[in-house]
Amino acid sequence: MQKLTFKRVLRFDPTARKLRLFRVMWNVGIVGDGKGYSRKVAVALRPALAGFKRSYDEWRVTLLGVEVHSATSWGGRYV
């Protein structure tokens, strides 16, 4: 793991109806060479009891109003 970054967001998103709290990002290997990747985990508060959504390179879990979102990028870095 290289370049671990923590960012406070503390912003309300009216479209998604959630309060974004923070995100943590890190890189593994060299991003873009086909072997490395960039990953982020974000935490937010939203008005929902439970939920789960998964796609090819990301997933979201909501439990008691706390949403955890993880995403992976093989072609570029998360900033």
Asked if residue 79 belongs to a domain, the reply is: no
Asked if residue 68 belongs to a domain, the reply is: yes
Would you state the pLDDT for residue 1?
67
Asked if residue 23 belongs to a domain, the reply is: yes
Asked if residue 63 belongs to a domain, the reply is: yes
Entry pTM: 0.84
Residue 9 β-bridge partners: none
What's the mean pLDDT when you consider all of the chain? 91
Asked if residue 78 belongs to a domain, the reply is: no
Tens of pLDDT, residue by residue over 20-49, are 999 999 988 877 777 788 899 999 999 999
Predicted confidence band at 3 (pLDDT cuts at 50, 70, 90)?
A: confident
What does the DSSP assignment read for the chain?
Answer: -EEEEEEEEEEEETTTTEEEEEEEEEEES-BTSSSBEEEEEEEEE-S-SEEEEE-SSEEEEEETTEEEEEEEESSS---
**Residue 38 belongs to what domain range?**
2-73
Count of structural domains, the chain:
1
Q: Mean per-residue pLDDT for 69-75?
A: 90
